[in-house]
Amino acid sequence: MRKKSKKYKTKQKKPQKKEKQKRQNMKKSLKHRHRENQKRHLKRPLKLITMNEEEIKQKKLEELKEKYLKQQEEARKQDEVESKMQMLLNKILEEDAKARINNVRLVNPQLYSKAFRVLMTMAQKGYLQQGKLNDAQMKEILMELKEEKEIRIRRM
């Protein structure tokens, strides 16, 4: 039985040696390939991108035109949204209430947007079927939406 174990041990060692040799050969071949690739890259001439001043100016001008057109488009969309909002407010508010909410828009845009949302939900749900809102009702809505800030004085 000892003879079999010796054969088994020797057989087991041989594949390990072969694997090591394969790994070494792979490493050598990779190094060789890498060196050859480096040599090829060195032989190629470098291509420099050259642009004269006129081309650079033209490119910048085109970029500025695109940027300007985008800004105009955004401004146009914003104007459309604003005009739609004003039309909706005209339908549900009296003149004095409309003046009040426009003043709020100038002073506190966040409160204006909250009030506008509340007015739109009220109109959609049918709470404004009696007619247009007057200034007193608008005041009540704004007072409910306005966040009260607490002022605390601490002594140190």
Residue 74: left if φ>0, alpha if ψ -120 to 50, beta else—which one?
alpha
Q: In this predicted model, what pLDDT tens digit does every residue of 98-153 receive, in sequence order? A: 999 999 999 999 999 999 999 999 888 887 777 788 889 889 988 888 876 667 78
User: What backbone torsions phi and psi does residue 4 show, to the nearest 5 degrees?
Assistant: -65, -40
Has residue 73 been placed in a domain? Answer: no
> 19 is in which domain, residue-wise?
12-43
Q: For the chain, how many structural domains are there in total?
A: 2
The verdict on residue 155 lying in a domain is no
Assigned domain for 69 exists: no
Whether residue 37 sits in one domain with residue 86: no
Residue 108 falls inside a structural domain: yes
Identify whether 109 is part of a domain. Answer: yes
Q: Which two tokens stand for residue 92?
A: 């549900």
pTM: 0.51
**In this structure, what CATH number is given to the domain that contains residue 105?**
1.10.8.140
pLDDT tens for each residue of 21-50: 777 777 667 666 767 766 666 655 555 566
In a domain, 94, yes or no: yes
